[in-house]
Structure 1
Amino acid sequence: MTKPWLKTMAVLSAGLITVLPAIAQDTANTEISGDISVWTWPNNDRTFEALLPAFAEAYPNINVEIQGYPTANDAYLNTLQRGMLSGSGPDVAMIEIGMMALLRDRPQWVDLSQEPYNAGEMLGDFAEFTVNNVTLDDGKVVAMPKHTGPGGMFYRRDIFEEVGLPTDPEAISELFSDWDAFIEEGQKLVVPNERWVIGNGEEIVRAMMAQAGVSYFDEEGNLQFDHPVFREALEKVEVAADAGMISPFAAWTPEWQGAFQRGQLATVMYGNWFGGLLKRAYAADQEGLWGVASAPALEGNRSFNSGGDYIGILETSDNKEAAWAFVKWIVSDEASLKQQFQSDDLYPAYNPAGDADWMNFEDPYYDGQNVNEIFAPAQKELIPFVLHPLDSVAANAMRTAVDNIARDIMSVDEALASAKETVQARM
Structure 2
Amino acid sequence: MNNAKKFLVLFLTLAMLVSMAACGSAGETAGSGTGDEEGKVLNIYCWNEEFKSRFTDYFEKPGLVPDGVKVNFVITPNQDNAYQNALDEALLNQENAAGDDKIDIFLIEADYALKYVNTDYTLDVVNDIGLTEDDLSDQYQYTRDIVTDSSGRQKGTTWQATPGLFAYRRSIAKDVLGTDDPEKVQEALANWDKFDQVAEKAATKGYKMLSGYDDSFRTFNNNVSQPWVDKNNKIVIDPNVMRWVEQTKLYTDKGYNNKTILWAPEWAADQGPAGKVFGFFYSTWGINFTLLGNSLATPESEGGKPEVGNGIYGDYAVCQGPQNYYWGGTWICAAAGTDNLKLVHDIMYTLTCDAATMKQITVDTQDYTNNVSAMNELASSDFKSDFLGGQNHIALFADAAPKIDMSNISPYDQTMTEQFRSAFKDYFDNKVTKEQALENFYTAVIEKHPELSK
Q: Same fold (TM over 0.5)?
A: yes
Alignment of 1:242-281 (within 5 A): 242-264=253-275, 265-278=277-290, 281=293
CA-CA distance at 1:99 after TM superposition:
1.3
1:98 matched to which residue of 2?
Answer: 111
Distance in 2 between residues matched to 1:127 and 1:197, nearest whole Å: 31
Is the 1:32–1:59 Cα contact (8 Å) retained in structure 2? no
- Structure 1 stretches of 4+ with a deviation exceeding 6 A read none
**Matches of 1:258 and 1:46 in 2, distance apart?**
29
Residue 434 of structure 2 corresponds to: 412
Structure with more strand by fraction: 1
How far off its partner does 1:280 sit?
5.1
State how many pairs are aligned. Answer: 393
Aligned equivalent of 2:190? 177
CA RMSD of aligned residues (A): 3.1
Looking at structure 2, the residues matched to 32 and 356 of structure 1 have their Cα atoms a distance apart, in angstroms, of 37
Flag the 1:198–1:366 CA change in 2: closer, same or farther, 3 A: same
Partner of 1:354: 375
Q: Which structure 1 residue ranges, 5 or more long, are not aligned?
A: 4-30, 297-301
Q: CA–CA distance in 2 between the matches of 1:378 and 1:402?
A: 29
Once residues 154 and 281 of structure 2 are traced to their aligned partners in structure 1, the CA distance between those partners, rounded to angstroms, is 31
Aligned counterparts of 2:198 and 2:90: Cα–Cα separation in 1: 50
Match of 1:25 in 2: none
Give the match's secondary structure for 2:42. Answer: strand
Q: Which residue is equivalent to 2:34? A: none
- The residue type equivalent to 1:247 in the other structure is N
Instruction: Give the aligned partner of residue 160 of structure 2.
Output: 147
| Structure 2 counterpart of 1:398 | 420
Contact 1:404 1:410 in 2 (8 A): yes
Q: How does 1:41-190 map to 2 (within 5 A)?
A: 41-45=47-51, 47-48=53-54, 50-51=56-57, 55-59=61-65, 61=67, 63-71=70-78, 74-87=81-94, 88-114=101-127, 117-190=130-203
Moved more, 160-169 or 240-249: 160-169
Is the partner of 1:81 in helix, strand or coil? helix
- Residue 307 of structure 1 aligns to a residue whose secondary structure is coil
Change (3 A) 1:375 1:116: closer
- State yes or no: 1:287 paired with 2:300: no
Q: 1:201 & 1:33 partners in 2: Cα distance?
A: 48
What secondary structure sits across from 1:353 in the alignment?
A: helix
Paired position in structure 2 for 1:223: 235
So what's the TM-score if we normalise by structure 2?
A: 0.77
Please state if 1:207 is matched with 2:213: no
Q: For the structure 1 residues 223 and 89, does the alpha-carbon distance in structure 2 shift closer, same or farther, using more than 3 Å as the test?
A: farther
Question: Structure 2: how far apart are the matches of 1:344 and 1:222?
Answer: 43
Say which one has the larger Rg.
2
For residue 96 of structure 1, report the CA deviation from its aligned partner. 0.6
Q: Is the 8 A contact 1:246 1:406 kept in 2?
A: no
Report SS of the residue matched to 1:235.
helix
SS of the equivalent of 1:76 reads helix
Q: CA deviation at 1:53?
A: 6.3
Distance 1:421 1:206 in 2: 22
**8 A Cα contact 2:228 2:236, kept in partner:** yes
Residues 396 and 258 of structure 1, relative CA distance in 2, 3 Å threshold: same
CA distance in 2, matches of 1:359, 1:405: 46
What amino acid is aligned across from residue 436 of structure 2 in structure 1?
Answer: E
The 2-side partners of 1:317 and 1:91 are apart by 5
- CA deviation profile, 1:348-381 (whole Å, cap 9, x unmatched): 2332322233785222211111112322222122
Deviation sequence 1:278-328 (CA, Å, 0-9, x none): 4652224433111001122xxxxx211222221011123232211221122
Deviates more, 1:209-218 or 1:400-409: 209-218
Pair 1:38 & 2:44 matched: yes
Query: Which residue is 2:411 aligned to?
Result: 389
> Which moves more between the two structures, 146-155 or 197-206?
197-206
Instruction: Quickly say closer, same or farther: Cα 1:52–1:75, change in 2 above 3 A.
Output: farther
The structure, 1 or 2, with the larger RCO (C-alpha pairs under 8 Å, 6+ apart) is 1
Query: 2: distance between equivalents of 1:228 and 1:139?
Result: 29
What's the secondary structure of 1:268's corresponding residue?
strand
* d(CA) in 1 for partners of 2:398, 2:80: 27
> Residues 374-403 of structure 1, C-alpha deviation per residue, up to 9 Å, x if partnerless?
222221222225222221110111111342
Query: In 2, Cα distance between the equivalents of 1:53 and 1:329?
Result: 7
Q: What is the TM-score when the length of structure 1 is the normalising length?
A: 0.81
User: What whole-Å deviation, never above 9, does each CA across 1:29-74 have from its counterpart, x for those lacking one?
Assistant: xx99944122222252453365256653444635433343213872
